[in-house]
Amino acid sequence: MVKRMTAGFIILSVAVVFILTACGSEKKETASDAGSASVENGEETSGGTNAQESPEVSDGKSEKEKILIAYFTWADNTKVDNPDAVDVDASTSASVLPPGNAAMLAGWIQEEAGGDLFSIQVTEPYSSDYDECLDRAADEEAKKARPPLKSRVEDMDSYDIVFLGFPNWWYTIPMAIHSFVEEYDFSGKTVIPFVTHGTGGLASCIDDLKSALPGSVTVLEPIGIYRDDVKSAKPKIQKWIADWRNG
Ligand SMILES: Cc1cc2nc3c(=O)[nH]c(=O)nc-3n(C[C@H](O)[C@H](O)[C@H](O)COP(=O)(O)O)c2cc1C
């Protein structure tokens, strides 16, 4: 009787140990699977899916990669009394009617990368006259002005990546970009600049933007698009975003 009980106890113990071991190894496999699938090109994926295929990531709402696309464009920062009178083919006046050049680029970035759009707007619009706008911009730059902005990004802290777009104004960033970056704590964020320009290229834009941001910000490779090329720049934006994704 005692012998039978001992044998029964041993069989039961072996069974318990077997079940526990099986559960343990199952759990371990799941964890290591997740580990190998979760980092691909430094981006979060789930269950081995490519980051771009993940709906969480592609709409920019992933916890790990929430994207904001903030841009400043003249067209959203001026008032045009008579839009019909604007000669949209004239290179100096083309961008007073929405969508402005930076806005167009922002839209394509959103199509490719997901994320939320935010138009940076000053409280006092610039003149829609090119020369008057040039004068005010030069004056603001000389005075290191910080033109007040109309609205704030809701919950800026939740964004990890900020695509930041603007035109080259007087070889540098519009002063409204200073206002914008000074309104928030950018520490630890990644900033990806996109710039549109006349014939001047990026000039001092990126250096000046970096100086305006805290040292802990990672500023990635910018793209610069000449204003006359903006309308046909979608493929360039697609390639730039793909290159960024592929790290
Ligand atoms: C006030 C002002 C200053 C500008 N300064 C420059 C400049 O220094 N270099 C340059 O290449 N283009 C300059 N431009 C041209 C703009 O960068 C270009 O037209 C840009 O595509 C406009 O983009 P937006 O439509 O998003 O405002 C200036 C435009 C304005 C209105």
Residue ranges of the chain whose pLDDT lies below 50: 1-2, 6, 12, 14-62, 93
Atom of ligand 1 nearest to the CA of 71: 26
Q: Is the CB of 119 under 6 A from ligand 1?
A: no
Residue to mutate (ligand 1; options 95, 175, 177, 232; most atoms within 8 A of CB): 95
Domain ranges of the chain: 2-40, 60-245
Q: Is the CB of 199 under 6 A from ligand 1?
A: yes
pLDDT of residue 83: 81
Interatomic CA distance for residues 156 and 189, integer angstroms: 10
Residue with tokens 């707007």: 121
Residue to mutate (ligand 1; options 71, 72, 73, 74; most atoms within 8 A of CB): 74
Comparing CA positions, the residue from 225, 167, 215, 226 lying closest to residue 191 is 215
Atom of ligand 1 nearest to the CA of 171: 8
Q: Is the CB of 168 under 6 A from ligand 1?
A: yes
The CATH homologous superfamily for domain 60-245 is Flavodoxin domain (3.40.50.360)
pLDDT of residue 54: 34
> 219-233 pLDDT, tens per residue?
999 999 999 999 999
* Predicted TM-score of the model (pTM): 0.77
Q: Is the CB of 226 under 6 A from ligand 1?
A: no
Atom of ligand 1 nearest to the CA of 134: 1
State which amino acid sits at residue 176.
A
Interatomic CA distance for residues 23 and 4, integer angstroms: 29
Interatomic CA distance for residues 134 and 155, integer angstroms: 33
Question: What's the CA-to-centroid distance between 79 and ligand 1, angstroms?
Answer: 17
> 43-100 pLDDT, tens per residue?
222 222 222 233 344 444 445 689 999 999 999 999 998 887 777 666 554 589 999 9
pLDDT of residue 50: 29
